[in-house]
Amino acid sequence: MKKIVLGILIVVLFQAERVWGGETLQAVQERGYLRCGVGIDDFGFATRSRDGKWKGFDVDFCRTIAAAVLKDVEAVQYIPLDSQGRFKALANKEVDVIIRTATWTFQRDVSLGLSFTGVTLYDEQRLLINKYVNGKKTVAIDRAAELDKATVCVTKGTTSLENIKDYIQQNNLPFEILETESQAGRWHAFLRSRCQLMTSEVTDLLGGLTGLLDDPNGYHLLSDVISREPLGPYVRDDDPNWFDVVRWSSQVPLLAEYLGLSSQNVTNADTKLSPEAKRLLNTPEAWLGSLGLDAKWAFRIIRDVGNYEELYSQNLSEASIEGINRGVNELWTNGGLHQPAPFR
């Protein structure tokens, strides 16, 4: 009898935790819009046009959540956050989620009271070299070790800072580090030749070249790979229901690409769709449980935002940012690292 009572108590407590843990979703739906933390003038990821419209890869992933929970991709308040304040803003509930080129690391995942929901982009940290160093063209320089000395610009509050410190020490490089308060400050220092090198994720470096310079020729990436950078959303770790909502909203574009669905064809999708595709477009009610979403949540994401190929192409492809191929961000069926979880 005691075992039965204990078992019932555990189930009740678990269900209570799940209900309590749905407070973020409830708050977002009652408010009527999502508060999404994004970057500041983060080319390719989050930029704001003169007419106030936001665009970018991270912006589109904010839109996936809004499509799922609010049925409106425009129901998003984009909150620009710098590298140093982004996690504090999330912990203090100033935003509901941060999708801001944030790297998945052990310390962030276990010590900040936050949870990483899944990789949306695989990147790597490298070094961008100025076109001139000490009055000499640098076009022939391929590796950092070829420089006698150099100053490296890097933004405070980023994994890039800690990674470059490790790399300099490990390789005994005669480099100094110039820490800047912001991404914009880092670019300003680099373009004013206060540093010969700048380090960040490749997408950040190449995106900035395209967005800031009329003529990016002469600047180039060194072949040194400083670190791997798996990027994606973070949420607070006190709400497992919201974690599930954000995780699966981010999975839908990848699932859609794999299943052959896009914003162009999903409305008139073939009736001969696979069972998995049918489930995705019209999720069985019994599966939704306490998630708080309706059966068409994923359909709206695909229709109103797109699949992963569409998101990547319109924000990060060679057509928009010179030199960024999908590479490891292809589906695993094409030699990449993205393998969306089965929808079953």
Phi and psi at 139, nearest 5°, equal: -55, -30
User: Start-end ranges of CATH 3.40.190.10 in the chain?
Assistant: 21-120+232-325, 123-229
What span, in angstroms and rounded, lies between the C-alpha atoms of 62 and 299? 16
Residue 113 confidence (pLDDT) above 70 = yes
Confidence at residue 322, expressed as pLDDT on a 0 to 100 scale? 58
Mean pLDDT of 273-299: 94
CA 95 to chain centre: 15
Specify burial of residue 317 (Cβ count, 10 A radius: 0-12, 13-18, 19+): middle
Please report, rounded to a whole number, the percentage of residues in the chain having pLDDT higher than 90.
Answer: 76
pLDDT at 7: 45
Tell me which CATH code domain 21-120+232-325 carries: 3.40.190.10
Give the pLDDT score at 317: 80
pLDDT given for residue 6 in this prediction: 42
pLDDT digits (tens, 9 = 90+) for 238-255: 999 999 999 999 999 999
Confidence band for 212, pLDDT divided at 50, 70 and 90? confident
Could you tell me what percent of the chain has a pLDDT over 70? Answer: 92
Structure confidence at residue 318 (pLDDT): 62
Given a cut of 50, is residue 329 above it in pLDDT?
Answer: yes
Q: What φ, ψ does residue 329 adopt, rounded to 5°?
A: -90, 5
pLDDT at 14: 40
CA angle 298, 303, 308 (to 5 degrees): 75
Provide the whole-model pTM.
0.88
Mean pLDDT taken over the chain: 90
Characterise 327 by phi-psi region: left (phi > 0), alpha (psi -120 to 50), beta (else).
Answer: left
Q: What are the backbone dihedrals phi and psi of residue 193, each rounded to the nearest 5 degrees, phi first?
A: 65, 30
Instruction: Tell me the Ramachandran region of residue 218: left when phi exceeds 0, alpha when psi lies from -120 to 50, beta otherwise.
Output: left
pLDDT score recorded for residue 320: 59
Of 20-29, 94-103, 231-240, 316-325, minimum mean pLDDT range: 316-325
In the three-class reduction of DSSP (H, G, I as helix; E, B as strand; rest coil), residue 223 is classed as coil
How far is CA 195 from each of CA 149, 150, 188, rounded to the nearest angstrom? 11, 7, 10
pLDDT band, residue 299 (cuts 50/70/90): very high
Token couple for 117: 């929901």
CA 232 to chain centre: 3
Distance CA 226, CA 197 (A): 13
CATH number of 123-229: 3.40.190.10
| Tens digits of residue pLDDT in 13-43 | 344 444 444 799 999 999 999 999 999 988 8
Answer yes or no: is pLDDT of 4 > 80.
no
pLDDT value of residue 2: 43
Strand partners, 150: 175
Give, as one character, the DSSP assignment of residue 333. Answer: G
Using the predicted structure, report yes or no on whether residue 193 has a pLDDT greater than 50. yes
Instruction: Give me the amino acid identity at 139.
Output: V
Task: Please return the burial class of 261, using the count of CB atoms within 10 Å of its CB with bins 0-12, 13-18 and 19+.
Answer: buried
